[in-house]
Chains A and B, each alone.
Chain A
Amino acid sequence: MERTRQTAILLGSIVLVLCILPVAASDYVLSLVLNVLMWVALTESWIILSGYTGYISLGHSAFYGLGAYMMAMAVMHLPCALVVVMAGFLSAAFAFAIGLPFLRIRGPYFVILTLGLTELMKYIFVNLEIKLGGTVGRVIMTAPGLVVLYYFILAITALATLAAYFAKNSRFGTALLSIKEDEDAANALGVNTSMYKLLAFGLSSAFPGMIGAVIALRLSYIDPYSVFNPMVSFQVIVMASLGGIAGFEGGIVGAVILTLVSEALWARYPYHYMIILGVIMILIAKFMPQGLFHPVERWLLKRARE
């Protein structure tokens, strides 16, 4: 209880600072923070499905791309904010539709299936674009400024973090964690495993859809190759493993640290930063396989017991 209150106060103050940030910050700082927040939102939403139920998904890029395309096609006709919300619902609906067959597949096969999903979406959109417009890119003319986009991303990130918190610390969370531990045993104990997996998949997929929609505005030019990019999924997994996948804290820790470290390394060692990053990742995977937040979590638990 005490810890929940402290966490709430801490996160509340961070959100407050982030809310007034655009007043003081330069465009560079604002873009950097926007980037960090975007990765936090993507990682948090990934943790809801893959961290809690153990179904490792590489499908985040598929929903990200879907959201981006939705924005590119609808922005001329509808207000941006509405399209962002719609992109969230569309992604969740799409996840529900494909989740029924997808989530029957377990383990490494699920990983491969979701990787294939991104590729499938990419080429569907390439073909659609050629059929419809004769070319594959889309330019977005009427995009709002950086500050507006920043607030969009901030709101989505706050929502994703809250979702990741409540998706764990609730009856819903007990169901998801029991699926990760032993799906058949969970079923024998009365857990409707298919339904909970589907709900987690839908909730998890809504956020990359919304993020994709906002980022499309920021990029102002998109094509299927750039938005259905599996690197988005890979990066999310790297961030989640870096921070830890057992709770929402790991998502924040992983995304913030990796984004800032790559930014710092990139600025200082533009030719070698990927090598350094790789070495850091290997060391963490070797010595802290449960993520950076795990030792903190253990320390907090120990302190709570005393």
Chain B
Amino acid sequence: MSLLEVAGVSQYFGGVTALAEIDMTVEKGEIVGLIGSNGAGKTTLFNVIGGYYRPSGGTVRFHGEHITGMKPYLICRKGIARTFQVVRPMRNMTVLRNVMIGRLFGRDRIKTEFQAGPESERILETVGLGQMMHVLAQDLTLVDHKKLEMARALACNPELLLLDEVLAGLTATETAAAMKIVRNVQEEMGVTILMVEHVMAAVVGLCSRVIVLHYGRKIAEGTPKEITENPKVIEAYLGESIV
């Protein structure tokens, strides 16, 4: 049984087809990439998996269990955590308190702030925010905001982590460091990862499998190498005339 199974998921907004019959699976321990140009439906798919949208059709299963249209907080407690493409920290809370929310309310939540503190500090260390614990979230730089998004999601103790463009907007050095963190999360913490990413170097470097969306349809799936050589993908990204 796959960890995550998306079957025939469609999402319409009025007359717009944001997702058309998407089928995909994620196996335990993988890092799967989800790519596609702007408006391809990547974030919409995340929102369906995370419970923000009830899809117009199709099903989402996690560990074989139906989670289609379940409330986001319940999906989080089942073991799927997500980051937001546009970072959404609790701006007036400290970095530590931000992470403690996940620890206090996510999967395997612990119900006293007293215990949640030290565990949250450890998560902050793993993403490299140990120094910033007592800073207000609004005072962080972009790269630290991205790390906070990850730390907060990890604090929910997920089995599956949905990363929505965590590398976008980072410099080359920052990207390399962030990639190391993602790799670390998968290998050391044993978290399966589904990531939306535009930075192709990161997709090629991290993912064992890549799924390509184009105008709401899945047009290709395979190893990063297969994908970059797939004529349909090149056409979708670069336009017809070049091929």
* Contact residues of A between 167 and 202, Cβ < 8 Å to B: 170-171, 174-175, 177-178, 181-182, 184-193
On whether A191 and B90 interact (CB within 8 A), knowing A174-B97, A174-B113, the answer reads: no
The interface bits of chain B over 83-120 (1 if a CB of A lies within 8 angstroms of the residue's CB, else 0) are 01000111111000100111011110101110000000
Chain B residues, Cβ within 8 Å of A181: 89-93
Is B26 positioned at the interface, with any CB of A under 8 Å from its CB?
A: no
Instruction: Give CA–CA (A147, B72) in the complex, Å.
Output: 52
Asked if A190 and B107 sit within 8 Å, CB to CB, the answer is yes
- Minimum distance in angstroms from A144 CB to a CB of chain B: 42
Whether A171 contacts B106 in the complex (CB less than 8 A), given A181-B90, A188-B76, comes out as no
Complex: A236 Cα to B113 Cα, angstroms: 31
Q: Chain B contacts of A182 at CB under 8 A?
A: 88-90
**B100 / chain A contacts, CB cutoff of 8 Å:** 174
Number of interface residues of B (CB under 8 A): 32
B111 touches A189 (CB 8 A): no
User: Which listed residue, A171, A174, A177, A192, touches B73 by the CB 8 Å rule?
Assistant: A192
In whole angstroms, how far apart are the Cα atoms of A189 and B109 in the complex? 11
Q: For window 87-101 of chain A, which residues contact chain B by CB distance below 8 Å? A: none
Docked complex: B70-86 residues within 8 A CB-CB of A: 71-73, 76-77, 81-82, 84
Q: Which of B71, B92, B106, B112 contacts A189 (CB 8 A)?
A: B106
Known: A171-B112, A190-B76, A190-B156. A178 touches B52 (CB 8 A): no
Interface of A is mostly: helix
* Distance between Cα atoms of A177 and B98 in the complex (Å): 10
Q: How large, as a class, is the contact surface on chain A? A: 10 to 19
User: B152 at interface (Cβ–Cβ under 8 A)?
Assistant: yes
Q: Is B50 in the interface zone, CB < 8 Å from A? A: yes
A181 to B84, CA, bound (A): 15
> Do residues B105 and A188 form an inter-chain contact, with CB atoms below 8 A?
no
Contact B77 A190 (CB under 8 A): yes
Whose C-beta in chain A lies nearest to the C-beta of B52?
Answer: A184
Across the interface, B90 reaches (CB within 8 A) one of A170, A177, A190, namely: A177
Residue among B52, B100, B101, B106 having the largest count of chain A Cβ atoms under 10 Å: B101
Residues of B near any A CB (own CB < 8 A): 50, 52, 71-73, 76-77, 81-82, 84, 88-93, 97, 100-102, 104-107, 109, 111-113, 152-153, 155-156
- Interface pairs A-B: 5 shortest CB-CB: A181-B90, A190-B105, A190-B106, A190-B76, A185-B88
